[in-house]
Amino acid sequence: MAKKPAILLTIDVEEWFQVENFKSYIDFSTWNSLEPRVEKNTHLILDLLDTFSFKPRATFFILGWIAERLPALVRQIRDRGHEVASHGDNHHLCTALNKNQLTRDLLTSKKRLEDITGQAVYGYRAPSFAVNDQILEKIKQAGYLYDSSYNSFSAHGRYGSIDLSKSIKRGGSYQLATRFFELPISNLHLGRTTLPLGGGGYFRLYPTSIFKQGITRVLKKNNAFVFYAHPWEFDPNQPRVHQASRGFKFRHYINLNRTESKLKRMICAFSDAYFLTCKNYLDTMRTIQIDKRH
């Protein structure tokens, strides 16, 4: 199993109005009054994954705010064989919270999901990949097995930075402590240049052929690729935030009508890979390490 590449499909389950780029235009107090669309869009993704005979599995990082309102959707994700993980409670940036607020957010979102599924929640992803070494320590202390928040594309203002230099690298994962791991978003590193590749708007913007070439290069290096998307990216008919800046609107709305078909083509192109949940991938990597020692 070690020789076969792994692709980790990860979905950040949030509403169209909860994205960071729109926070200046949509106040938190109005969220309950806005049109909910995440349930339908998440079902679209679940149905898409079910169309493949080899049953690709994915990890769904779910906001506590969503889970509280749509517990049946959380259970549906679990029942269809996917991993339920945490995306925080209210999509507040970890870097904007003090230590007590962050701890409360991490524990609350984890408990919400565990109460709904009756299963342990192992994974966490910070909203907008806003993470640092101090935040990682809080995530570990909150009882998570792994974090998947590090995006090495440093040109994005909100993405955080962490020190992986002392960590043990295994495939696409880094062991930070005895029972704590980092699964970074996959980007393309060309010399000293890092090109964003892992998903989101970059996936919608790049031609499919270019994206496939990038995945192939990452797989050749790490034998694993961590991909991310959001349910709203599959929804070209979502309400428009007309007052948002031109740049934010471009990044949010570009090629929404192509996301579903592009993801289908991507999965088909790499159908010989394992499509694992994050937790299953880490279990596999630890098993391989044990086997090597014996």
Helices assigned H by DSSP within the chain: 38-50, 64-69, 71-79, 99-117, 133-141, 200-205, 208-222, 246-253, 259-269, 278-293
Q: Which amino acid is at 165?
A: S
Look at residue 1 and tell me if it is in a domain.
no
> Which residue range forms the structural domain that includes residue 234?
6-293
- Residue 84, classed as helix, strand or coil, is strand
Q: Does 34 reside within a domain?
A: yes
Total structural domains within the chain: 1
With contact defined as beta carbons under 8 Å apart, do 200 and 230 qualify? yes
pTM, to two decimals = 0.94
Query: Residue 12 belongs to a domain with what CATH number?
Result: 3.20.20.370
Query: In 155-254, which residue ranges form alpha helices assigned H by DSSP?
Result: 200-205, 208-222, 246-253
User: Tens of pLDDT along the chain (294 residues)?
Assistant: 447 999 999 999 999 999 999 999 999 999 999 999 999 999 999 999 999 999 999 999 999 999 999 999 999 999 999 999 999 999 999 999 999 999 999 999 999 999 999 999 999 999 999 999 999 999 999 999 999 999 987 656 678 889 999 899 999 999 999 999 999 999 998 878 888 899 999 999 999 999 999 999 999 999 999 999 999 999 999 999 999 999 999 999 999 999 999 999 999 999 999 999 999 999 998 765 544 443
Residue 84 lies in a domain: yes
Q: Which two tokens stand for residue 270?
A: 């790499």
* Contact predicate 16/239, CB 8 Å: yes
In a domain, 85, yes or no: yes
